[in-house]
Every structure is written in structure tokens, then in C-alpha cells.
Amino acid sequence: MLKAVILIGGPQKGTRFRPLSFEVPKPLFPVAGVPMIQHHIEACAQVAGMQEILLIGFYQPDEPLTRFLEAAQQEFNLPIRYLQEFAPLGTGGGLYHFRDQILAGGPEAFFVLNADVCSDFPLSAMLEVHRHQPHPFLLLGTTANRTQSLNYGCIVENPQTHEVLHYVEKPSTFVSDIINCGIYLFSPEALKPLRDVFQRNQQDGQLEDSSGLWPGAGTIRLEQDVFSALAGQGQIYVHLTDGIWSQIKSAGSALYASRLYLSQYQLTHPERLAKHTPGGPRIRGNVYIHPTAKVAPSAVEHTCVLHSIVGWGSTVGRWARVEGTPNDPNPNDPRAHMDSESLFKDGKLLPAITILGCRVRIPAEVLILNSIVLPHKELSRSFTNQIIL
């Protein structure tokens, strides 16, 4: 029996994803045509023996989230529940707080996935490694170049046994080109070190708070409090992947993640890709068109949308050009990843993709390239590597 936990965070996190998260919670923002966390759920549902999927975060259980969970349960025929934290508890605090529900039924192991990552999720391969040589913690890792590795958790492994000998979260100097993907497989024993961190936090808090109950004790950081502390003690191992992987921290990374998933759809979900039909629109590359979108067969390229995200109910006038600046990884470096960019640096606004807000109108005769257009559009244009939602 297996379970999976998806860590979805909350509204106080993911501020670099704004303004996209103003209209919809970040975990439900469409990436390659489906909510971001649906990719995670699909991967978990395909693992043999999966019995339950738990979402942990501190979003309010509002109507969009509730509706998504109900639809996902029906589609995948699996119990999928949301467990709301009483406060932001870090990447490990929610796991410890809801430990009884995670361990209910006696799972042999459980996956832990960060919601804001894009991946082909090699979960079955991780499970095979775990069953061959069980350990409390198995981390999924990939490689990055020396400069970008400083933006991630860095892993030093034993190349023969793949034991994690050293772990540093976002080091100030180069440590390793192996980085943490934010995708894990834990055995039930992995919750014991989390208990130790909680108790240590409680003791440290009591020194400052005579009430004996320090509210910050429940905040546990997997990376710093657990992985860094236990590295080199024979408890943490890494499984390396050469598959697709990227963080989804910003609007630009959402575009890049969509392209990665669209490139996988030929193998995983060919039914989601738009196809040429007699009298239909011209399709070039991997394109997803939402069922609510009406696409006219003609396309006269008088207006162009490039590297942009166009909000719900939006309009772009004729002869307009909407163009953002992509921040894609260096195509000449196979180990390059998306930079963890911010909107400002040294007081200056950095080039980025263009985001048009809600209720902007898009007329006919539009060429759209490498962009996301959100639902309910009537369109007459050509399409290249983009998503019409």
C-alpha cells in the first residue's frame, strides 16, 4: 500500500507568481491545459498500489479547490483529500502535524511532492529503488550547471551507493552539480526525525516562552532541519533522473513548464494536443486548445502575441503586438534550468514575459506564439507552441 502527499503551500507563498495567483490559487493555475497539481496527481495515480493522495497546505478550502478535488476523485477513482494547516508549517511541519492521517492504513511508503515543480515524475523508478534497498529518505535529483546550482538544494552523493553524504540548501559557494528536485519517497520511519526536530523546537521555544507551548515548534524545514542534519548517516539516498524537470516559481517559468509538458503529450496525452482537421485552423508544433475556445479556420496575421500570458476574458486590438522577453534556460547547456528570477534587481525592472490582466478583448487575425491565453475566447488565428485555455 502506498500514499502520496502533495505540498501546495498557501496564499502567503509564491509571491513571484503574482499576478497569476490573484485570480486562481497557484496550485490550480493551468499548465499545459490542466491545473498545475493535476500533473502530480496523474503521476501518483499511475503507481501500482497507490491508495490515497493527500494535499497539505494552508489555503482556505474554497469552491475552486473543492470542485477540483471532487472532479479529480471521480476521474482517478482514488481518495484525494485536502488537509489544511492551522498556520504555515514549512515543508516538513505539515507532514508531522498530519502524521496520523498519512500513516493510517499502514502504507509501506509515501511520496512527497512539491506542487510548484514540473517533471515527468519517475515515481515507479523511485519505488523500485526503494524496494531494492529501503531507507527512510529517497530524494529525486538532477544535474545543474555550477552557477545555477547555487539556487537549489545541493547534494553530494557517494557515486557507488548513492547515499547523500552532504546536503546544503542554496549554498553561497559551489558544492555539487546535483540538485534537489523537490520529489521524495519516504518510509514511515522518516517521520521520526521530524518528531525530533519538533521536540527540539519545543525545547528551544520554552527557553524564550515561559508558557511552555511555543507556536513556532511546528514549523519544520525538510531541507535545512532534516536533510542537512541527517546527511552522511546512512538514512538519505538520491535517485538521479535525466528526465524533464523545472521549478514553477514565476509567470515565465509557467510558460516554460507548459512547453515541457506539451512536448511530453505526444507520448503521455496525445488526445490533449490539437490536430489538423479539414477546414480547421493551422496548427504548428504542440498546441493545446481548451474545449470552450472557438477557433475559426482562417488566420490573418495582423496581430501578434509572443511570450505572454493573456488573462481571462481578455481582448487585444487589431494590429497590436504583445511581446514579452522569455527567460528560458540556455539551449546550448544541457544542464541549464530556469533562473529563479525576480521582477526587480538593483532597483530596475527586469525584462520578463508580458501578462495582460482580465477582461481584455482579443479580436480575430491574431498570431500567437509561445503564450498562454486563458478561457472563453473566440479566435481566428494561427497557433505555434502555445496553449489556448
Q: How far is CA 112 from CA 3, 56, 80, 117, 270, in A?
A: 9, 10, 14, 12, 27
Position 206 scores a pLDDT of 55
Check: CB of residue 299 under 8 Å from CB of residue 281: yes
pTM here?
A: 0.85
d(CA 149, CA 228): 16
d(CA 366, CA 318): 8
Q: Are strands 381-384 and 283-284 parallel, antiparallel or unpaired?
A: parallel
pLDDT band at residue 253 under the 50/70/90 scheme: confident
Percent of the chain topping pLDDT 90 = 53
The residues that bridge with 245 in the sheet, in sequence order, are 119
Position 202 scores a pLDDT of 84
User: What's the average model confidence in pLDDT over 262-277?
Assistant: 90
Position 339 scores a pLDDT of 64
Look at residue 338 and give its three-state secondary structure: coil
Residue linked to cell 482537421: 277
- 242-271: buried (b, 16+ CB within 10 Å) or exposed (e) per residue? eebbbbbbbbbbbbbbbbbbbebbeeebee
Q: Is the pLDDT of residue 54 over 80?
A: yes
What pLDDT, in 10s, does the model give residues 223-249?
Answer: 999 999 999 999 999 999 999 999 998
Single out the residue of 87, 83, 85 nearest to residue 216, CA to CA.
87
d(CA 192, CA 156): 23
Position 246 scores a pLDDT of 92
Q: Is the pLDDT of residue 361 over 50?
A: no
Question: Which tops the pLDDT comparison, 73 or 291?
Answer: 73
Single out the residue of 142, 164, 137 nearest to residue 152, CA to CA.
142
Question: Which tops the pLDDT comparison, 336 or 237?
Answer: 237
Look at residue 231 and give its three-state secondary structure: coil
What pLDDT, in 10s, does the model give residues 6-49?
Answer: 999 987 655 667 667 777 888 998 999 899 999 999 999 999 99
All 3 cell numbers of residue 220? Answer: 519544520
What pLDDT, in 10s, does the model give residues 179-206?
Answer: 999 999 999 999 999 999 999 888 876 5
Q: How far is CA 240 from CA 177, 318, 356, in A?
A: 12, 49, 38
Position 10 scores a pLDDT of 87
d(CA 17, CA 66): 22
What pLDDT, in 10s, does the model give residues 107-158?
Answer: 999 999 999 999 999 999 999 999 999 999 999 999 999 988 999 999 999 9
10 Å Cβ neighbour count for 30?
20
Percent of the chain topping pLDDT 70 = 76
pLDDT band at residue 68 under the 50/70/90 scheme: very high
Q: Which residues, in sequence order, are CB contacts of 94 under 8 Å at separation 6+?
A: 7, 56, 57, 83, 85
Q: Is the pLDDT of residue 371 over 60?
A: no
Position 61 scores a pLDDT of 87
User: What's the average model confidence in pLDDT over 211-229?
Assistant: 79
d(CA 218, CA 152): 24
Mean pLDDT score of the chain = 83
Position 24 scores a pLDDT of 80
The residues that bridge with 183 in the sheet, in sequence order, are 113
